[in-house]
Structure 1
Amino acid sequence: MTLNELQRIKQWHVAHKADHPLEYHLWDLVLTLWVLGWVGWYPICAFGEPWTAPVCLVGIFVPSLYVTWRTRAHLRHTLRCDWIDVEGRGR
């Protein structure tokens, strides 16, 4: 995902925080895991702890995985996601 896509989704959640508080906090968790995934590479390189690399890699892809999961649920009509543009897959 691009930073513009992350920002667009975050702006939607901020604008609709009162109506969708759980989604707002869930997206904050997704972004927190994403940042931790990127920041976690520094200790891996500095201290040589390769066992943490898979955890960091998953963290980096959490936003894409989350948007993919929500898009599929939206298309199956099991979960409504107003912030998803179905033609643009979250764009």
Structure 2
Amino acid sequence: MTLDQFQALKLWHQQHAQFAPLEKEAWEAVVTLWLIGCVGGPVALLIGRGFIAALTFALLFLPRAYVWLRRRLHRAGIVRCDWMAALR
């Protein structure tokens, strides 16, 4: 994801927080875990925790994976994602 897409999703969730609070909370959880991956990876490497470093490295791809999964579920008609238009 690009920074522009991150910004667009952030703005969409802020503007629609009243109508889609669960969407906003889910996205904030994804971004929080992504930040844990950004900060925790180097720390885990410094203290010698290889498993944790691998886990935090995987968290770096979480926002892209979340958007990919939601887009796929939206196209299959399983969930409705109104914020897909914000990513274009």
TM surpasses 0.5: yes
Q: Deviation per CA, 1:52-80, whole angstroms, max 9, x where unpaired?
A: 12210221111011100110011111111
Q: Secondary structure at the match of 1:64?
A: helix
TM-score, normalising length: structure 1: 0.88
Higher helix share: 2
Unaligned runs of 5+ in 1: none
Higher relative contact order (CA 8 A, sep 6+): 2
Alignment gaps of 5+ in structure 2? none
State percent identity of aligned pairs. Answer: 38
Q: Is the 8 A contact 2:42 2:53 kept in 1?
A: no
Superposed, 1:24-35 pairs within 5 Å as: 24-35=24-35
Give 4+ residue runs of structure 1 displaced > 2 Å after superposition. Answer: none
Whole-Å Cα distance in 2 between the matches of residues 41 and 54 of structure 1? 8
Q: Number of residue pairs matched? A: 88
RMSD over equivalenced CA pairs, Å: 1.5
